[in-house]
Chains A and B, each alone.
Chain A
């Protein structure tokens, strides 16, 4: 079955450490996205990539970094520069044709301890 896989589902990090969240899709989608969701809040776009080897900052990119070396993969690194990293992180993908739906992973809940 095609879909998006995020791992791990739960992640704990000590303050000052970088951590990388995995996102893999087998939908053959060109575009991929990372969102942050805080409790009781909506989605905020962190980074997006329209095509391999290219990505753009979203609304809240500070303290995060990404890479897009393969079409299937779009990992997100939460760096120590991110002051408040505890949140629910969602990865999504879509075609880049417009007017089509996005497909989401199950999310990774990151907690800083």
Chain B
């Protein structure tokens, strides 16, 4: 079945450091790919998405590129802030299905 694997956390960075959170997926079809963010005590919010190969999703300085050849959707940000501290979930949704498949989440701590 479909699955999403993302790097284990926690990831601890200093402010203004470069962020990469790796995400790879397994899918039977041609899914859409998503990154969600969860701030402490809150629900998940969609951060960005990509719906076809080579698409780049971007939002709030974060970006991720849909790489079909490597089945990857790595999240990057050039300069993190303390306010980026949260849990990040990679996810996919298949055509013909409706459930979203989530990765295990990666907790990010950013130190001032």
Q: In the complex where A42-B89, A42-B104, A98-B94 touch, is A48 in contact with B99 (Cβ < 8 A)?
A: yes
Are B93's CB and A90's CB within 8 A?
no
Number of interface residues of A (CB under 8 A): 28
Q: Which of B1-59 contact A (CB under 8 A)?
A: 31-32, 34, 36, 41-46, 49, 51
How many Å lie between the Cα of A43 and that of B38 in the bound state? 11
Are A43's CB and B93's CB within 8 A?
no
Q: Is B100 an interface residue (CB 8 A)?
A: yes
Contacts of B45 in A (CB 8 A): 104
Are B104's CB and A106's CB within 8 A?
no
Q: Is A97 an interface residue (CB 8 A)?
A: yes
Are A98's CB and B44's CB within 8 A?
no
How many Å lie between the Cα of A100 and that of B31 in the bound state? 9
Contacts of B89 in A (CB 8 A): 42-43
Q: Is A25 an interface residue (CB 8 A)?
A: no
Q: In the complex where A99-B32, A101-B46 touch, is A43 in contact with B94 (Cβ < 8 A)?
A: no
Are B102's CB and A99's CB within 8 A?
no
Please give the distance in Å from A67's CB to the nearest CB on chain B.
Answer: 19
Are B102's CB and A107's CB within 8 A?
no
Are B100's CB and A94's CB within 8 A?
yes
Q: Which of B71-112 contact A (CB under 8 A)?
A: 89, 91, 93-100, 102-105, 107
With beta carbons under 8 angstroms apart, the residue of A33, A42, A104 that contacts B99 is A33
Q: B45's closest neighbor in chain A, by CB?
A: A104
How many Å lie between the Cα of A50 and that of B100 in the bound state? 12
Are B102's CB and A43's CB within 8 A?
yes
How many Å lie between the Cα of A40 and that of B87 in the bound state? 9
Contacts of B99 in A (CB 8 A): 31, 33, 45, 48
How many Å lie between the Cα of A107 and that of B87 in the bound state? 15
Residues of B within 8 A of A (CB): 31-32, 34, 36, 41-46, 49, 51, 89, 91, 93-100, 102-105, 107
